[in-house]
Amino acid sequence: MSTSPSPQSSDDASLVVAAREGDRAAFGGLYARYARMVHGILLARVPHNDVDDLVQDVFLRALPRLRDLRDAAKFGPWLAAITRNCANDFHRQTRTIAAATDSLSEDEAELPASKPAPAAEAAMILAFVRNLPNAYRETLILRLVEGMTGPEIAARTGLTPGSVRVNLHRGMQQLREKLSQAAPDTSIQPQVRPGKNSTVQDKNGLRGRNEP
């Protein structure tokens, strides 16, 4: 029994084919469609100050390699793999990055724990998310920070919808446990709003991005 390709895959394939032939608008369409996914994967793995530059690097890496992509309909998972490799390369080339993913900066750490500023709360949540297992970390950031829906994450990354649901459910459980242990007297809890632009609760200072 054969299945028809999804409209998403068909659209991706047509854009990839056009981009291979030098159509800059087609590659721009791929960028617009996948920039949030790339941003979220990178945010789960590298310091946020470096994410925007690395997003550009990922697409610059991908463009000349489009002809190596055997199945044009699998552009999303292929690009996700390039993004993870780019993050790995970043860490190999930079010796001072690891500490940034494990703790707050000195200024943020000095803020009163009883009533942290919004930026400190955001940094706290992001720091805890980055300490979760890779699968949960990446999926949570795509959902909470990039504002992508579960089905959208599945379509972009190539994960099954069931895997995305499991990763989000288990990741949120672990994140809530870590937050409650770190700040038992506060109400810092990740909240997911319905809709494309859902983000972590406003007071946490993390908002979804809509890349051009």
Q: What's the CATH code of the domain at 14?
A: 1.10.1740.10
Looking at the fold, whether 77 and 112 belong to one and the same domain comes out as: no
**Structural domain boundaries enclosing 90:** 1-97
Inter-axis angle of helices 24-43 and 150-157, nearest 10 = 110
Can you give the pLDDT at residue 9?
62
- Domain end among 65, 97, 129: 97
Give the whole-angstrom CA distance, residue 207 versus residue 170: 22
| Three-state secondary structure string covering 17-68 | HHHHCCCHHHHHHHHHHHHHHHHHHHHCCCCHHHHHHHHHHHHHHHHHHHHH
The answer to whether the predicted template modeling score (pTM) of the entire model surpasses 0.75 is no
Looking at the fold, whether 87 and 190 belong to one and the same domain comes out as: no
Looking at the fold, whether 69 and 110 belong to one and the same domain comes out as: no
Looking at the fold, whether 20 and 41 belong to one and the same domain comes out as: yes
Looking at the fold, whether 7 and 88 belong to one and the same domain comes out as: yes
Can you give the pLDDT at residue 123?
66
The pLDDT tens digits along the chain (212 residues) read 444 455 566 689 999 999 999 999 999 999 999 999 999 999 999 888 889 989 999 999 999 999 999 999 999 999 999 999 999 888 776 543 334 333 333 343 333 333 433 455 556 667 778 888 888 888 888 887 788 889 999 999 999 999 999 999 998 888 888 777 765 444 445 555 444 444 333 333 344 444 43
- Domain end among 49, 67, 97: 97
Can you give the pLDDT at residue 190?
55
Looking at the fold, whether 80 and 150 belong to one and the same domain comes out as: no
Looking at the fold, whether 70 and 30 belong to one and the same domain comes out as: yes
Looking at the fold, whether 134 and 202 belong to one and the same domain comes out as: yes
The pLDDT tens digits for 94-153 are: 543 334 333 333 343 333 333 433 455 556 667 778 888 888 888 888 887 788 889 999
Looking at the fold, whether 137 and 74 belong to one and the same domain comes out as: no
- Domain end among 43, 64, 97: 97
Looking at the fold, whether 2 and 19 belong to one and the same domain comes out as: yes
Can you give the pLDDT at residue 104?
31
Give the whole-angstrom CA distance, residue 66 versus residue 111: 47
| Domains in the chain, number | 2
CATH number of the CATH domain containing 167: 1.10.10.10
